[in-house]
């Protein structure tokens, strides 16, 4: 599914703060997806954009849409359940999987990759530092639900200080 976009149906759409989470039915991509991969999502008549895969299981791929700033993100925030999009992928390289006490750190769309990695490697993830200027990063509640000690920083400087304070506990 790396060539032409294949039709895929929106199974679910929900809010995650100022972000939007879409679950897309696409068995071919879901079965091959790994943390660190992304898809190309095409909206006919609008544009095609890359989106990090935040979760994949059986028949579905989940992606995170940023706040509605441009035509594509605004359209995706309004797309109805049952709506059709075109998808290609997965693309990208998997996140390396080594270490026994892993610290995850990311912001914005990068948190999507971290969420997928944490879901697949719960027993090895020590903690996560999520950076968001408003203090409301996507997926922070989900990471806590699966047992990841989650910290929220409002700036890169604050994230570095958090990193230093927990550095001794990780690989």
Rounded to whole angstroms, how far apart are CA atoms 12 and 26?
A: 13
Structure tokens at 37: 């991969």
Fold of 6-91: Elongation Factor Tu (Ef-tu); domain 3 (2.40.30)
Give the separation between CA 171 and CA 167, rounded to whole angstroms: 8
Range picked from 2-6, 8-12, 17-21, 166-170 for highest mean pLDDT: 8-12
Give the whole-angstrom CA distance, residue 147 versus residue 66.
Answer: 25
Q: What pLDDT band is residue 1 in, cutting at 50, 70 and 90?
A: low
Quick one: tokens of 162? 């958090």
Task: State residue 99's pLDDT score.
Answer: 76
Per-residue pLDDT for 2 more than 70? no
Question: In 37-139, which residue ranges form alpha helices assigned H by DSSP?
Answer: 71-78, 110-120
What stretches of the chain show up as alpha helix (H) in DSSP?
Answer: 27-32, 71-78, 110-120, 140-145, 156-166
Q: Where are the domains of the chain?
A: 6-91, 102-169
pLDDT over 70 at 168, yes or no: no
Residue count of the chain, please give it.
171
SS3 31: helix
Of 16, 15, 69, 8, which Cα lies nearest the Cα of 42? 8
Mean pLDDT of 24-39: 96
Q: What average pLDDT does the segment 133-156 reach?
A: 94
Cα–Cα distance measured from residue 42 to residue 6, given in angstroms and rounded to the nearest whole number: 9
């Amino acid at each position: 599914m790396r060539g032409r976009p294949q039709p895929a149906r929106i199974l679910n759409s929900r809010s995650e703060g100022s972000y939007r989470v879409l679950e897309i039915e696409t068995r071919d991509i879901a079965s091959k997806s790994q943390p660190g991969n992304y898809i190309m999502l095409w909206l006919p008549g609008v544009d095609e954009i890359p989106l990090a895969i935040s979760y994949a299981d059986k028949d579905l791929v989940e992606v995170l849409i940023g706040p509605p700033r441009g035509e594509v993100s605004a359209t995706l925030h309004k797309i109805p359940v049952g709506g059709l999009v075109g998808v290609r992928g997965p693309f990208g390289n998997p996140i390396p999987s080594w270490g026994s006490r892993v610290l995850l750190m990311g912001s914005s769309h990068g948190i999507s990759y971290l969420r997928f990695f944490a879901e697949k490697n719960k027993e090895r993830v020590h903690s996560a530092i999520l950076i968001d200027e408003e203090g409301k990063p996507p997926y922070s509640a989900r990471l806590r639900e699966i047992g990841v000690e989650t910290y929220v920083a409002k700036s890169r400087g604050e994230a570095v200080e958090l990193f230093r304070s927990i550095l001794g506990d990780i690989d």
